[in-house]
Chain A
Amino acid sequence: MYLGIDVGGTHTDAVVVDRRKVRAFSKVVTDHDNLLVSVRAAMEDVLSQVKKDRVERIALSTTLSTNAIVEHKTEEAGVLVSAGPGIDPENYHIGRGYAVIDGSLDHRGFEVKELNRKELQNAAQMFRELGMRVHAAVGKFSVRNPAHEIAMKSAVEADSDHVTMGHRISGMLNFPRRIATAYYNAAVWRLYNKFADAIAQSVDEYGLEASIHVLKADGGTMPLARSRQFPVESILSGPAASVMGIVALCEIHEDALIMDIGGTTTDIAVFAGGAPVLEPRGIEVGSYPTLVRALKTRSIGIGGDSVIKITRTGQVRVGPEREGPSMAQGGEAPTLIDAMNFLKLADFRDRHASARGIERLARLWDMYPDKLARQAVDFAVRSIVDECRDMVDMLNERPVYTIYELLQGRQIEPKKAYVMGGPAAAFQPILKEALDMRVELPPDFQVANAIGAALTRTTAELELFADTEKELLHVPALSIEHPIPRGYSQDAAEDDLRKLMAAYLDELGLPGTREYKDEVEIVESNAFNMVDLFGGAFRNIRVKAQLRPGILD
């Protein structure tokens, strides 16, 4: 049995799932000042409904890191940056302790300029004076050669409780994002680890012998131990939980749209050939783009509680603001759900209150109330549909880099949609008509997010770079550097990366070599000839492997 917990903005949901059947379910109000209380309450409730010694795995999504970042309640982290030529690294200045150290590497990882030791010592001194106890060390092109980050780490290690090194976060290139990601990782490290301690302790107290996993934004989980090193990966995992919930509840094999219509927003995700589409670069957090891998989701400010507004020219609009609950729930201003109540599309709480609100607003603008309500619903549906279409177009417009991909490029053409969330049932027939496609309402759609948390499998991603001129192979995320022979080939690189991934999963305490070995897929693989001025030909090999998002049986 799997236990899933989703800490949401309003509610904390917990489910226990056994062979894809929901055995127990609980919903408690989230206490934002003490998430642990909500987690424990929900957990306790579901555990009382099942035989708890049969729970073998616990997975939770938490807004802890996200909230800390958004509410500026993070710890101050000292940031060491080595950049070299390019865009001025001062543009990425973050926090009070930000020091640019002279020194640089080039795109192949060759050292162009040594790190300036004096500047490094001065920076360490500055962090000491500022009383900083967590640090981030980030170098440009560190994923091609981590030497500078390692040197920067050792300069502050003695005064530090934790140092995040940029190259360990992701093998992807993007220096500004690496800075922001490493900074946030260090800044939430202590807070997150306290929470992780408490969770581990609670699980112990309940006498559970279950492995603990934490949800990531890419639709996968990571073991608790890894999350302690990389807490930033737990941010914004909420939408991923609901998307994975849909995957668990429905068998999706084709291109599809997922719409999660909530009170305030509608989140949209896209599936290509049955797999959720990932954000190619990484998610944005607190207005900083990061390297945190995530499912591609879009959020628009339209939900059941979005307020209805009329413009000066008499146009009916819905959202993006929310002014308290709907009138059906005792609110002050009519909302989208009130309009649906009025039109008998929904039957939610106090329909008379909804009608009063719509009629009052209509009188104010000298409109027919049913016309006003109809226009409000139309506007909401049109906005959702437009956003879906726009998102699919954007995905199909994504750059590609080879002739083969450009000419053979597979286009995403959703023929089916899945809709979930509070007002989902009311929206289903309207969306079916507007989208002109089948729209399915999954069973248990109200708890899809917690089910998603319960059943989401581990994801992992590794990148390998090999340079036969340097006779070296790198796997930055694991800090691996191996010698290779001159004749090292692309095939050998793919094989090596598969093996490394399996071993890495084993190390995380997962059945990597035993179960996941065959599911590791090579998602990118390139080899380029490098020719030097003397006619020598070498190979620059780049391979990326992943264990893609999936559901436990």
Chain B
Amino acid sequence: MLEAKNSLGVIFFPAFDWAIEPTHPEREERLLYTQDQLREEGLFDIEGITEYKPEVATRRDVERVHFCLPSVETVATKSHMISAGGAIRAARLVMEKEADRAFALVRPPGHHAMKIVEGNRGFCNINIEAVMIEWIRENFGQKRVAIIDTDCHHGDGTQDVYWHDRNTLFISLHQDGRTIYPGSGFPDELGGPNALGKTLNVPLPPRTADEGFLYVMDELVLPVLEDFKPDIIINSAGQDNHFTDPITNMNFSAQGYAALNERLKPDIAVLEGGYAIQGALPYVNLGICLAMAGVDYSKVYEPDYHPEKVRQDVRSMDTIKRICEDVRNRYFNPPSTPTDGDVNGQWFTRMKDVFYDTDGIRESQVESVVICPDCSGAVKTEVWSTSNPLSLCVEIPMDACDKCASLGRRAIEEGHTKGNYRIVQAINRKDKEYTQFGF
């Protein structure tokens, strides 16, 4: 009988009764063939690999992370709460040492959901990884967390959630934003003034294959992790880099995904995108499960896999090497101030426009963070959109110093007294207070 070297918990929740629309790529069928493959392979008969059902995330779990406008209930359906709950279950297994590693094979995904949420962007409503990470921190203390996002699309939501957090390293590997949604994720996006270099972006040329991805792992990701010394490594495991994916242009294979995982050794992986539901997901998910469990995956390949057909060209490799070198330098020698905003006294301010492609909402934000050498800094954001009038969102981070905590509290008070906000919402991680005023 096969035996896992690392015990692995798999939370498999295909949400067979939820879809954005019947023919949308993110639909019921998405994990159907993965389920078939995992069952047919007898994955859960391997000693040490166990299947678990998800928990249901609570409103409080979401409120810890997101400013949901106008409320958690309006932006997150039951399916989103279960998907996030699946990620929490994965974290619980690992944190409570029931499993060495865990993989949340759940849908819908979450990595395009930003700090402020008014609707669905890129098939995501709430950021299931962030909900999971903050659940960990709530229950197990402030941990140093590294998130490696291997989805083909830039993890702009996760980037936004952790933009100012100096205790979270976020590295996104993705197809160059000039050629694909959401159009962001370039090396100069490095994080806010207190967390410069804790956000890293690796835009890869279209048709990057196994060789390129594994080069980035070896030459960039692993050395940076070595330096950052995270307590927990999370793989935001989007699988749309696959050579058969219908909505992307990359050449990654099941073997490549498994090898990447073997090198990265994530404690927790959470499924993100991946829409080649017949030709890729069953094999990629199987490969990742086996790699995480430390079981031989050498015979896992796609039926139409011909390495020579998906080999990347030499020029791509040159580009990839150049990008890696650039991003590496930016991590080890980050600039002293960001270039995407202005300093106003002790606050650093930038403007943002966000488009919710699925729901068609246009949103504008003025975001200010306290420039602080001691903590991640209090953040206040004024936000207005085609869906909700001007509102104020204030966050006091978990590691807030006294000064930032009091500046944050003052911002909340001022929001009430100045009065022209429809909603004033606060996430006070330091005192565990989550409040919302307005309607």
Residues of A in contact with B (beta carbons under 8 Å apart) = 84-88, 91, 104, 106-108, 112-113, 140-141, 172-177, 281, 287-289, 397-404, 406-407, 526, 528-531, 533, 535, 537, 540
Which residues of chain B are near A289, meaning CB under 8 Å?
42, 45
A88 touches B35 (CB 8 A): no
Question: Which one of B12-20, B118-126, B158-166, B199-207 is at the interface?
Answer: B12-20
Q: What 0/1 pattern do residues 1 to 14 of B give for CB contact below 8 A with A? A: 11000000000111
A108 touches B78 (CB 8 A): no
Contact check: which of A85, A528, A535 meets B28 at CB < 8 Å? A528
- B313, CB-defined interface residue at 8 Å: no
Q: How far is the CA of A108 from the CA of B301 in the complex (A)?
A: 17
B56 touches A87 (CB 8 A): no
Given contacts A85-B283, A87-B290, A401-B16, contact A140 B28 (CB under 8 A): no
- B71, CB-defined interface residue at 8 Å: no
Q: How far is the CA of A399 from the CA of B10 in the complex (A)?
A: 10
A529 touches B28 (CB 8 A): yes
B15 touches A403 (CB 8 A): yes
Across the two chains, which residue of chain A brings its CB closest to B17?
A402
- Smallest distance from the beta carbon of A282 to chain B beta carbons, Å? 10
- B298, CB-defined interface residue at 8 Å: yes
Given contacts A87-B2, A107-B33, A397-B53, contact A175 B17 (CB under 8 A): no
Contact check: which of B13, B15, B246, B283 meets A533 at CB < 8 Å? B246
Q: What 0/1 pattern do residues 283 to 298 of B give for CB contact below 8 A with A? A: 1001000100001101
Those of B21-67 within 8 Å (CB) of chain A = 22-23, 27-29, 32-33, 35-37, 39-45, 51-54, 56
Known interface pairs A173-B40, A403-B18; 20 further A-B residue pairs with C-beta atoms within 8 A, sorted by A's residue number: A85-B300, A85-B305, A87-B295, A87-B300, A91-B2, A104-B303, A113-B303, A174-B45, A175-B42, A281-B44, A281-B45, A288-B1, A400-B53, A406-B13, A526-B16, A528-B29, A531-B29, A533-B246, A535-B23, A537-B23
B303 touches A85 (CB 8 A): yes
Q: What 0/1 pattern do residues 114 to 156 of B give for CB contact below 8 A with A? A: 0000000000000000000000000000000000000000000
Which residues of chain A are near B278, meaning CB under 8 Å?
106-108
- Smallest distance from the beta carbon of B54 to chain A beta carbons, Å? 7
Across the two chains, which residue of chain B brings its CB closest to A400?
B53
Q: How far is the CA of A87 from the CA of B283 in the complex (A)?
A: 10
B54 touches A406 (CB 8 A): yes
- B415, CB-defined interface residue at 8 Å: no
B42 touches A407 (CB 8 A): no
B42 touches A176 (CB 8 A): yes
Q: List 21 A-B contacts (CB under 8 A).
A: A86-B300, A87-B296, A88-B299, A107-B33, A113-B303, A174-B39, A174-B42, A174-B45, A175-B41, A287-B1, A401-B14, A401-B35, A402-B15, A403-B15, A403-B17, A406-B56, A529-B29, A531-B23, A531-B27, A540-B29, A540-B32
Which residues of chain B are near A399, meaning CB under 8 Å?
12-13, 51-53
Q: How far is the CA of A177 from the CA of B51 in the complex (A)?
A: 17
Across the two chains, which residue of chain A brings its CB closest to B43?
A87
- Smallest distance from the beta carbon of B137 to chain A beta carbons, Å? 26
Q: How far is the CA of A173 from the CA of B300 in the complex (A)?
A: 18
Q: How far is the CA of A193 from the CA of B35 in the complex (A)?
A: 37
Across the two chains, which residue of chain B brings its CB closest to A531?
B23
A401 touches B56 (CB 8 A): no
Given contacts A177-B45, A404-B17, A529-B22, contact A107 B53 (CB under 8 A): no
Q: How far is the CA of A104 from the CA of B51 in the complex (A)?
A: 27
Which residues of chain A are near B18, meaning CB under 8 Å?
403
A530 touches B12 (CB 8 A): no
Which residues of chain B are near A526, meaning CB under 8 Å?
16
Interface centre among B2, B45, B304, by most chain A C-beta atoms within 10 angstroms, is B45
- Smallest distance from the beta carbon of A464 to chain B beta carbons, Å? 15
Residues of B in contact with A (beta carbons under 8 Å apart) = 1-2, 12-18, 22-23, 27-29, 32-33, 35-37, 39-45, 51-54, 56, 78-79, 82, 246, 278, 282-283, 286, 290, 295-296, 298-305
A177 touches B42 (CB 8 A): yes
A112 touches B303 (CB 8 A): yes
A407 touches B78 (CB 8 A): yes
Which residues of chain B are near A537, meaning CB under 8 Å?
22-23
A403 touches B82 (CB 8 A): yes
Which residues of chain B are near A85, meaning CB under 8 Å?
283, 299-303, 305
A87 touches B41 (CB 8 A): yes
Q: How far is the CA of A281 from the CA of B45 in the complex (A)?
A: 10
Which residues of chain B are near A406, meaning CB under 8 Å?
13, 53-54, 56, 82
Which residues of chain B are near A535, meaning CB under 8 Å?
23
Which 4 residue pairs are nearest across A and B when measured between Cβ atoms?
A176-B42, A112-B303, A173-B39, A107-B36
Interface centre among B15, B35, B40, B43, by most chain A C-beta atoms within 10 angstroms, is B40
Across the two chains, which residue of chain B brings its CB closest to A141?
B40
Across the two chains, which residue of chain B brings its CB closest to A111?
B303
Q: How far is the CA of A540 from the CA of B256 in the complex (A)?
A: 30
Q: How far is the CA of A87 from the CA of B45 in the complex (A)?
A: 12
Q: How far is the CA of A531 from the CA of B23 in the complex (A)?
A: 6
Across the two chains, which residue of chain A brings its CB closest to B40?
A173
Given contacts A407-B56, A528-B32, contact A402 B78 (CB under 8 A): no
Across the two chains, which residue of chain A brings its CB closest to B19?
A529
Which residues of chain A are near B282, meaning CB under 8 Å?
107
Q: How far is the CA of A84 from the CA of B302 in the complex (A)?
A: 10
Across the two chains, which residue of chain B brings its CB closest to A530?
B29
Across the two chains, which residue of chain B brings its CB closest to A537?
B23
Across the two chains, which residue of chain B brings its CB closest to A529?
B22
Which residues of chain B are near A531, meaning CB under 8 Å?
23, 27, 29
Interface centre among A91, A104, A289, by most chain B C-beta atoms within 10 angstroms, is A91
- Smallest distance from the beta carbon of B185 to chain A beta carbons, Å? 27
Which residues of chain B are near A176, meaning CB under 8 Å?
41-42, 45
Across the two chains, which residue of chain A brings its CB closest to B296?
A88
Given contacts A85-B303, A176-B42, A403-B18, contact A107 B37 (CB under 8 A): yes
- Smallest distance from the beta carbon of A293 to chain B beta carbons, Å? 15
Which residues of chain B are near A288, meaning CB under 8 Å?
1
Q: How far is the CA of A91 from the CA of B2 in the complex (A)?
A: 7
Contact check: which of B27, B44, B54, B296 meets A529 at CB < 8 Å? B27
Across the two chains, which residue of chain B brings its CB closest to A143?
B40
- Smallest distance from the beta carbon of A515 to chain B beta carbons, Å? 34
Q: How far is the CA of A86 from the CA of B33 in the complex (A)?
A: 14
Which residues of chain B are near A175, meaning CB under 8 Å?
40-42
- Smallest distance from the beta carbon of B210 to chain A beta carbons, Å? 16
Contact check: which of A106, A398, A402, A530 meets B16 at CB < 8 Å? A402
- Smallest distance from the beta carbon of A82 to chain B beta carbons, Å? 13
- Smallest distance from the beta carbon of B277 to chain A beta carbons, Å? 9
Contact check: which of B2, B40, B299 meets A174 at CB < 8 Å? B40
Which residues of chain A are near B299, meaning CB under 8 Å?
85-88
Which residues of chain B are near A402, meaning CB under 8 Å?
15-17
Q: How far is the CA of A113 from the CA of B44 in the complex (A)?
A: 27
- Smallest distance from the beta carbon of A414 to chain B beta carbons, Å? 20
Q: How far is the CA of A550 from the CA of B42 in the complex (A)?
A: 30
Which residues of chain B are near A141, meaning CB under 8 Å?
36, 40
A403 touches B79 (CB 8 A): yes
Q: How far is the CA of A247 from the CA of B303 in the complex (A)?
A: 49
Contact check: which of A87, A106, A529 meets B23 at CB < 8 Å? A529
Given contacts A108-B278, A540-B32, contact A397 B23 (CB under 8 A): no
Which residues of chain A are near B295, meaning CB under 8 Å?
87
